[in-house]
Structure 1
Amino acid sequence: MLTLTVFLATLLYAGLGILIFVVSFVLVDKLTPGELWREIIEKRNTAVALLAGAVAIGISNIIAAAIHG
């Protein structure tokens, strides 16, 4: 049954997961040579876009496993 406590905990974990994802992705962006978004948007580099997508999925899986337990 969905109670207020469960709902608030869900919102907290979702917000925390999104925050950790954004910080992690920005960190990966800073650690890689060049600028990912410029390569993807301006130069239309498909390989870099695939790399960024794979990193995003990997980070998301790690965060989901950590939150789920």
Structure 2
Amino acid sequence: MRIKLASWYGDKAPGEEIDVDEPTAKALRRDGLVAQPANETAQEEQVPAKTAEEPAQPEPETGRKKR
């Protein structure tokens, strides 16, 4: 499994991608050292964000009104 580091891990700097086994990846994720799995970084760059294009809709008012 290949992961991208969020923080220093030994002599590896944040942002570096390293190969780890599943138990090590789980432990690093638990400790907050994994930014994201490396295979997701390539997929996210190809898919444009749709949430920025959609306008926000106000929620309908329900319940009591203040006087």
Q: TM class by shorter-chain length?
A: under 0.3
- Structure number with higher helix proportion: 1
Q: Which has the higher strand share?
A: 2
Largest Rg, 1 or 2 = 2
Higher relative contact order (CA closer than 8 Å, sequence separation 6+): 1
TM-score, normalisation: structure 1:
0.24
